[in-house]
Structures are given as structure tokens and as C-alpha cells.
């Protein structure tokens, strides 16, 4: 069973449908005990970083997420679910994240003006450039098109954490992986056949 964490800020049904299409058995849950019992865990998310962290903490799911990661079971973060894995986000000041990975979340063109014609948020299809081998991207062709909806992206303290990059007026990290944890800034559940193939790699991921 794959626990899809419901903390009140995610497109849960589309994630659930995509995981089923990939051969998984997802269960949407807000119960920390179900998360603890699951074979794999997915942390999806859309919206504001601060509100998401508040909901995760208030619901008791923050410790469940950390426990799932520490247990070694396969764990997938999607979009805001990726961002919360880092230490801080510049959204609405320096907001504190889960601190699973060292680094911070920054807004596009936070330190300089955006190039002409580049809009924020970044919405639409973009090429995924794989920067190193990844279990999540096994069999996925280089420069595959995937779907993004975001204004912020991760800046890992250790560049070796990055498995994928994309470009939107600037090159940015869009995927990370370490041990049992993988995460994408793009939405696999909205990325067509390529997204299903990525999720299938997660479904088939064994400890």
C-alpha cells in the first residue's frame, strides 16, 4: 500500500489516479498510523509553503513524514512536497521546512530581474535534463517533457543531491534523490505517459 498524505493542500485525486495507472495501490490518508504502516509514502502538495508546514504540524503528520523517511521505506515528494523536505523557504520570509535535505527554497529571479518574456509562476511543459543516474528516472529518455506549476524551486546545499534540472530563464534544480527519498518539482501525475512511467518506477522501487 502507498500512503498519499492528505494534509489539506494537495491535488490528491489526480495523484491517486496516476499511481493506480502506474500499477500501485494508493490510499489517501491523514492518519499517522496508516502512514507508518504503508510500504511507500507520497507527499504531494500545491500552495503556500508556510500554510503547508503549519497543516503538517497541526495534523500530527510532520512526525509521520519524518518517521517514514527514517524507516527507509521509499518516499516520494511532489512539487510543494519536494520543497518541504528542505531546511527553509524564502516564501513569506525564511520559513522553516522539515530539514531532511540541507538547502533552501528560492523564488525565480529572487536576486535579479526576470529576462524579457519570462513569467512567474512557471506553468507548462519543459524538458527534464537528467544530471545523474536516478532510480526514479530509470528508462526515461533525456530531455523528456514534464509539467510544471510553481514559482519556487530547491537550491540544495549539496549539488550531488540533484538528479534533474530544467530551464525557465535560468537553470534550476527540479528533482532530487538520496537513499530512499526522491522528489520532483514537476508534477508526474500531470505529465502524461512519461509521468506514469516515472511513477511506475516508484511503485516498483524496492527497499
Query: Residue 24 and residue 198: Cα distance in Å, rounded?
Result: 12
168 is catalytic: no
Q: Is 29 helix (H, G, I), strand (E, B) or coil?
A: strand
174 is catalytic: no
Task: Pick the catalytic residue from 16, 91, 177, 189.
Answer: 189
pLDDT < 50 positions in the chain? none
- How do residues 15-47 score in pLDDT, each as one tens digit? 999 999 999 999 999 999 999 999 999 999 888
pTM of the predicted model as reported, rounded to 2 decimal places: 0.96
Length of the chain measured in residues? 207
Classify domain 2-203 by CATH architecture.
Answer: 3-Layer(aba) Sandwich (3.40)
Q: Is 85 helix (H, G, I), strand (E, B) or coil?
A: coil
Query: Residue 202 and residue 113: Cα distance in Å, rounded?
Result: 37
Task: Pick the catalytic residue from 122, 150, 168, 187.
Answer: 187
pLDDT at res. 111: 85
- How do residues 159-175 score in pLDDT, each as one tens digit? 999 999 999 999 999 99
Task: Pick the catalytic residue from 16, 62, 79, 168.
Answer: 79
In degrees, to the nearest 5, what angle opens at C-alpha 185 toward C-alphas 168 and 7?
140
79 is catalytic: yes
Amino acid at each position: 500500500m502507498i500512503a498519499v498524505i492528505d494534509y489539506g493542500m494537495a491535488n490528491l485525486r489526480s495523484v491517486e489516479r496516476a499511481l493506480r495507472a502506474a500499477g500501485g495501490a494508493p490510499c489517501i490518508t491523514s492518519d499517522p498510523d496508516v502512514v507508518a504502516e504503508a510500504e511507500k509514502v507520497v507527499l504531494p502538495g500545491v500552495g503556500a509553503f508556510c500554510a503547508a508546514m503549519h497543516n503538517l504540524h497541526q495534523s500530527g503528520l510532520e512526525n509521520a513524514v519524518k518517521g517514514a523517511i527514517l524507516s527507509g521505506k521509499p518516499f516520494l515528494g511532489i512539487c510543494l512536497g519536494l520543497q518541504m523536505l528542505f531546511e527553509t523557504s524564502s516564501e513569506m520570509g525564511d520559513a522553516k521546512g522539515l530539514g531532511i535535505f540541507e538547502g533552501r527554497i528560492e523564488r525565480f529571479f529572487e536576486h535579479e530581474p526576470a529576462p524579457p518574456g519570462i513569467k512567474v509562476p512557471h506553468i507548462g511543459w519543459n524538458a527534464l535534463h537528467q544530471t545523474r543516474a536516478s532510480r526514479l528516472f530509470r528508462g526515461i529518455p533525456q530531455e523528456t517533457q514534464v509539467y510544471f506549476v510553481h514559482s519556487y524551486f530547491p537550491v540544495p546545499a549539496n549539488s550531488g543531491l540533484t538528479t534533474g534540472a530544467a530551464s525557465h530563464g535560468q537553470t534550476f534544480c527540479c528533482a532530487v534523490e538520496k537513499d530512499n527519498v526522491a522528489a520532483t518539482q514537476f508534477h508526474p501525475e500531470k505529465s502524461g505517459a512519461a509521468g506514469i512511467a516515472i511513477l511506475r518506477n516508484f511503485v516498483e522501487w524496492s527497499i
